[in-house]
């Protein structure tokens, strides 16, 4: 926590991160200025290029990342190269592994899994890239049909937009359902409160209806 007792949400950025995986959750957490402080962590001091090409300014390089209460790993095309990067995996295991809660959106679960951070946990991920994500974590219990999965100190969501539902559920878990509802209403977001609501698992052929 910072000196005002707010939780630090550290968001890992990397070349080819998916924009909404980051900015859906950040829109929600960053509005609660008295409860959370959002830090962007990037490979170095330079702005980080998203999968969509747009660049975002970071707050700290990986090597100098402050301890996070909640670590959040987004997905995106950049995860494919990064999952095999041993130095990144070692850093992520240390940094995210020491946070109170380690969370991922979309194929970010593949990075948590490759770093061993989901071993022995239940977890989910993007429904179109599920096969690749499962390969990253043979010791993970992968849940094919789930909007998000909360297992002890790990929170993992489905693809892209699912990160917003998970974020609201996590905020409700920490600070109550009423606050999360007010937040969803303020940003006019139709929050799916049921973690098992997942039409996309069927649409993308992971489960039979």
Consecutive H or E run containing 80: helix 79-82
Site for a second copy in 56-85 (CB under 8 A): 56-57
Q: Are 130 and 101 in contact (CB under 8 A)?
A: no
The dihedrals phi and psi of 156, each to the nearest 5 degrees, come to: -130, 140
Closer residue to a second copy (CB): 80 or 203: 203
To a second copy, the closest distance from the beta carbon of 146 in angstroms equals: 11
Which tokens go with 132? 């690749």
Among 71, 104, 126, 156, binds a second copy (CB under 8 A): 126
Rounded CA gap, 198 and 205, in Å? 12
Among 15, 122, 144, 161, binds a second copy (CB under 8 A): 161
Closer residue to a second copy (CB): 1 or 57: 57
Rounded CA gap, 105 and 107, in Å? 6
Q: Which residues sit at the interface with a second copy, rule CB under 8 A? A: 18-20, 22-24, 26-27, 30-31, 38, 40, 47, 52-57, 126-128, 158-162, 164, 185-190, 192, 199-200, 203-204
């Amino acid at each position: 926590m910072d000196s005002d007792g707010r939780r630090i949400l550290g968001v890992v950025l990397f070349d080819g991160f998916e924009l909404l995986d980051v900015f859906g959750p950040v829109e929600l957490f960053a509005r609660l200025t008295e409860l959370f402080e959002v830090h962007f962590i990037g490979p170095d001091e330079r702005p980080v290029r998203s999968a969509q090409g747009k660049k975002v300014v970071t707050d700290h390089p990986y090597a100098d990342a402050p301890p996070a209460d909640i670590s959040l790993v987004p997905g995106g095309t950049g995860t494919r190269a990064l999952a095999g990067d041993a130095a990144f995996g070692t850093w992520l295991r240390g940094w995210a592994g020491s946070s109170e809660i380690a969370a991922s959106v979309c194929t970010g679960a593949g990075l948590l899994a490759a770093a061993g951070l989901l071993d022995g946990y239940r977890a989910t991920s993007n429904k179109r890239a599920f096969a690749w994500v499962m390969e990253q974590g043979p010791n993970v219990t992968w849940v094919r049909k789930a909007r998000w999965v909360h297992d002890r100190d790990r929170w993992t969501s489905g693809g892209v937009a699912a990160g917003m539902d998970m974020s609201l559920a996590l905020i409700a878990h920490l600070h109550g359902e009423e606050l999360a509802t007010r937040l969803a209403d303020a940003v006019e977001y139709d929050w799916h409160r049921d973690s098992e609501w997942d039409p996309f698992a069927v649409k993308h052929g992971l489960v039979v209806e």
